[in-house]
Structure 1
Amino acid sequence: MLSRFNEIIGKRVVKGYKSQHFPALHDNVIIAMSSGVDSSLSAALFAGHFPKARGVYIQSWGKSQSLTDPRLEPCYERDWKDVCRVAQHLNIPVDKMNFEKDYWLDVFEPMLENYNQGMTPNPDIGCNKFVKFGKLRQVLDQTYGARNYWLVTGHYSRILNSLNDDKPHLLRSFYTCKDQSYYLSQINADYLSQLIFPIGHLTKPEVRQLAAVAGLSTATKPDSQGICFVNNSQHGKFKHFLRHYLPDSVGNIITVDENEQKRIWGKHTGLWSYTIGQKVGISMPQGDPRYAGAWYVSEKLHDSNEIVIVKGRDNPALYKDVLYVSNIVPMDRNFRSLLEEGISNQNLFVQYRSLQEPVPLISCDFSHQLVIKLARPQRAIAPGQYCCFYLNNRVMGSGTISRVSS
């Protein structure tokens, strides 16, 4: 299996990089197994070749937090059973680690607070930073020693070593339509030398084909969509899920005319109940051509607890090209100079959502906080989203968008 994998990736050379260092035969190899086909294949690639390979399953949500129908089997219990079946098939041990408290304190509560403030956070990035490559790292460091193990995961991203300095860098996956490098942009760069993302070198069809050859029970398992405890919730949509954790804070839904005059059209239950760019289903006088058509959220006013709406999906008010970025986590100590050089060479790009088309930068200003100007205005950029910087396909780091303008 590993030889077939090496044969595939051997043909996918990236200019300026060489293959990442791999474990020695008797190194400790820990595979994070989430029960999906990607992490299952990751385990299969290492299980038969490294005697000290073992799996680990992270439970970050529990019954005390769940809103699902108690008659249904929780997603984390089903996933654990799938992980055990795969581990038994591969003849490797697997440990179950409970990080519910860490997820709640470091990811879930900050997410709720951001939503309550009218921001648009990304809990997947927080989970990677604080749990999968945070708390898990602490436990593994204590168990094996800080530099005495490798951690393998099923993420669609690549870690390749530069030909210039032999240092590891985080890159987009080969299969760009599944790329997850955006979600990994806040992890500690010092940890890259111990991480392996084998799936990032493959396409999804190749993953499923290799998984079938390996006889994995997860070979045809559907990909997970979103957060399992929300998907399985009897309350359905994420907005309904949030309502159980966030208090109602009723405010006005308004329009603002060219003279800065406000007009109230309805009520909202909290700034968290709508996102920037979202269509608003409120009654407007459709008989009046000034108001006929669909309306969308263009701004959230935290101080007055108001949501501003505009007419038309492509209304100019929905497009911004200046981003104020704070709390930056760089993946290179020369982050600032590399950004300036990348803009000069026209090979620096940003993304504020995963899998969106990369947007080139035309300027950056480090005077107070990082302020960047995009090459073209983008629709529905929301404060709270992460802005990830790419030098070609290499992740330079990311920060939180605190404000947008045009």
Structure 2
Amino acid sequence: MKRVVVGLSGGVDSSVAAYLLQQQGYEVIGLFMKNWHDDSVTISNDCPWLEDSNDALLVAEKLGIPFQTVDLSEQYKEKIVDYMFNEYEKGRTPNPDVLCNREIKFDVFMKIALSLGADYVATGHYCRKSEIEVDGKAVYQLLAGVDNNKDQSYFLCQLSQEQLAKSLFPIGELTKPQVREIAAEMELVTAEKKDSQGLCFIGKVRLPEFLQQKLQPKDGIIVQIDKDNPVYNTTVSDDLNTEEALALAAKPIQYTPEMGKKVGKHQGAHYFTIGQRKGLNVGGTAEGLFVIATDVVSNTIYTGMGSHHPGLFRKALFIEKSEVHWIRKDLALANGETMKVMARIRYRQPLQEATLHQFEDGMYVSFKEPQSAITEGQFVAWHLGEELVGSGVIS
């Protein structure tokens, strides 16, 4: 019997994952990851991880599998939380969920599981894994989940072949309603439990409140840039080579307060992200204002009116060389090579037609259609068919 350690989160997805593995004849062990016990930043008096770990324990008891809790809060603080604060301070918007999978679930947690003699680690992600042979060697593929509405392959876009080799995704072939149905049939306590919102594994924490614990509020101005501003009328010279043209298309516009009019105040540019609409508290505009840029050095937020404002859109983005990650290393591009892919710049965004261009110091991703709110620090992931083959941090 192969031994599998399941990351039981106290949610319905991982509960059903454990049950399915048991049905498939694996020896299953449930582990709950405790990643947080700094109560100064939770926004409610309840203790979310306690409730979740109790639910995970009840599921393990129901299935008759061994269960324990592992405390990873130190590693989580160092690898995820500190990193998040540093990124926000620099005016970038990190994706803690992608990092959490790469650094915690499929690294620190996986090492613990393997030390318990596990052959695999399993999670309740909606994605699939398959295996092909390339040049006589086994190569693992990360495939989208069958449920289009819940596909979570994006969150695993930074995994490596070594991590995939030891991973199982038991619910990837199912839809969410099917998962809930199985949980109800098995009378699992998590069958009706709502999906968790908030930071991965921290529970009920809203990001602005979380950030305010460490990043001090400071007053700054909100500037509105008109859609007809001449800054949007740049003509591209015909003399540029491909790399120069891509660099121009990927470069964010540098705004100054003189380009627009002051429409309000804010408590800190580092609390805002590109494309954000809520929380600006500026009234009296014909359409909603959207953040089109933030400047943490001058503590200024630049906004544009309406979701079609030209300041929201760009046709390309850049990934620094060290941040280009191929799950399928055998498909990695050499300098000067290009590849047509389908890509997304955020979870749940429909896949977009794009082309990868590899150069000496990094990779450009150019899109067929201009993309709204390309955000520094977030991940772009690219697919060939239903396979996610690589990703990178937007620079």
Q: Is the 8 A contact 2:22 2:28 kept in 1?
A: yes
Match of 1:266 in 2: 264
Residue 175 of structure 1 corresponds to 147
Distance across 1 between alignment mates of 2:24 and 2:358: 50
Q: Are positions 1:57 and 2:28 aligned together? A: no
Q: Is the 8 A contact 2:343 2:352 kept in 1?
A: yes
CA distance in 1, matches of 2:43, 2:160: 34
The 3 A distance-change label for structure 1 pair 325 and 162 is same
**CA contact 2:338–2:358 (8 Å) conserved in 1:** no
Number of the residue aligned with 1:369? 362
Which of 152, 155, 170 pairs up with 2:125? 155
> Could you say which residue in structure 1 is the equivalent of 2:185?
213
Give CA deviations for 1:264-292 in whole Å, capped at 9, x if unaligned: 333322222222122264546x5xxxx64
Correspondence for 1:336 among 324, 332, 336: 332
Give the superposed CA RMSD.
2.5
Percent identity between the two aligned chains = 29
User: Could you tell me how far apart the structure 2 residues matched to 1:338 and 1:33 are?
Assistant: 40
TM (norm. structure 1) is 0.82
**Structure 1 position 44 matched with structure 2 position 19:** yes
Q: TM-score, normalised by structure 2?
A: 0.84
Output the amino acid matched with 2:157: S
SS in 2 for 1:131: helix
What does residue range 21-170 of structure 1 map to in structure 2 within 5 Å? Answer: 26-48=1-23, 50=25, 52-70=27-45, 72=46, 74-144=47-117, 149-162=119-132, 166-170=138-142
Instruction: Call closer, same or farther: CA 1:338–1:375 in 2, change over 3 Å.
Output: farther
Q: Distance in 1 between matches of 2:2 and 2:355?
A: 45
Higher mean alpha-carbon deviation, 363-372 vs 169-178, is at 363-372
1:202–1:96: structure 2 CA closer, same or farther, 3 Å change rule? same
Using the alignment, how far apart are the partners of 2:347 and 2:32 within structure 1? Answer: 25
* Cα distance in 1 between the residues matched to 2:133 and 2:160: 21
Is residue 19–residue 63 contact of structure 2 (8 Å, CA) maintained in 1? yes
Superposed CA offset, 1:109-164 (max 9, x none): 111111121111111111111111111122223332xxx51111110000011266
Q: 1:84, 1:193 → 2: CA distance?
A: 28
Assess if the C-alpha contact under 8 Å between 1:271 and 1:300 holds in 2.
yes
Q: Supply the distance in 2 between the matched residues of 1:231 and 1:143 (Cα, whole angstroms).
A: 27
2:370 counterpart SS class: strand
Superposition pairs of residues 244-283 of structure 1, within 5 angstroms: 244-256=213-225, 257-258=229-230, 261-262=258-259, 263-279=261-277, 281-283=280-282
Structure-1 residue corresponding to 2:245: none
Q: Tell me if the contact between 2:335 and 2:360 (Cα under 8 Å) persists in the aligned partners.
A: no
User: Contact conserved, 2:223 with 2:300, CA < 8 A, in 1?
Assistant: yes
- C-alpha distance in 1 between matches for 2:296 and 2:214: 19
Cα offsets for 1:297-347 (capped at 9, x unmatched)? 11122443322112222111111111011312211223433999883xx4x
How far does residue 49 in structure 1 lie from its aligned partner after superposition? 5.2
- Distance in 1 (CA, whole Å) between partners of 2:20 and 2:201 is 29
- Does structure 2 retain, via aligned residues, the 8 Å contact 1:271–1:307? yes
* Distance in 2 between residues matched to 1:353 and 1:128, nearest whole Å: 16
Is the partner of 2:291 in helix, strand or coil?
A: strand
Residue of structure 2 in register with 1:6 after alignment: none
Structure 1 pair 51–134 and aligned structure 2 pair: CA distance change class (3 A):
closer
Describe the shift of the 1:341–1:197 C-alpha distance in structure 2 as closer, same or farther (beyond 3 A).
farther
Do the aligned partners of residues 342 and 176 (structure 1) sit closer, same or farther apart at CA in structure 2, a change above 3 Å counting? farther
Q: Which residue of 2 aligns with 1:184?
A: 156
Contact 1:29/1:50, CA 8 A, preserved across alignment: no
| Aligned counterpart for 1:323 among listed residues 305, 308, 317 | 317
1:399 paired residue number: 392
Q: Residue by residue, what CA displacement relative to the aligned partner does 1:374-397 show, whole Å, maximum 9, x if unpaired? A: 111011111111111111211112
Matched, 1:380 2:378: no
Structure 1, unaligned stretches of length 5 or more? Answer: 1-25
Structure 1, residues 358-387: CA drift from partner, whole Å, max 9, x if none?
Answer: 111135142322112111101111111111
1:350/1:361 contact within 8 Å kept: yes
Report the CA distance shift for 1:339/1:376 in structure 2 as closer, same or farther (over 3 A). Answer: farther
| In structure 2, distance between residues paired with 1:329 and 1:382 | 18
Q: 1:52 to 1:113 in 2, by over 3 A?
A: same
Q: Which residue of 1 aligns with 2:295?
A: 301
Q: Is the 8 A contact 1:329 1:399 kept in 2?
A: yes
Tell whether the 8 Å contact from 1:47 to 1:54 is kept in structure 2 after alignment: no
Change (3 A) 1:222 1:339: farther
Amino acid paired to 1:199: I
Structure 2 partner of 1:9:
none
Unaligned runs of 5+ in 2: 232-255
Q: Is the 8 A contact 1:47 1:91 kept in 2?
A: no
The secondary structure found in structure 2 opposite 1:95 is strand
101 and 65 in structure 1: CA distance in 2 versus 1, 3 angstrom threshold: farther
CA contact (8 A) 1:156 1:173 kept: yes
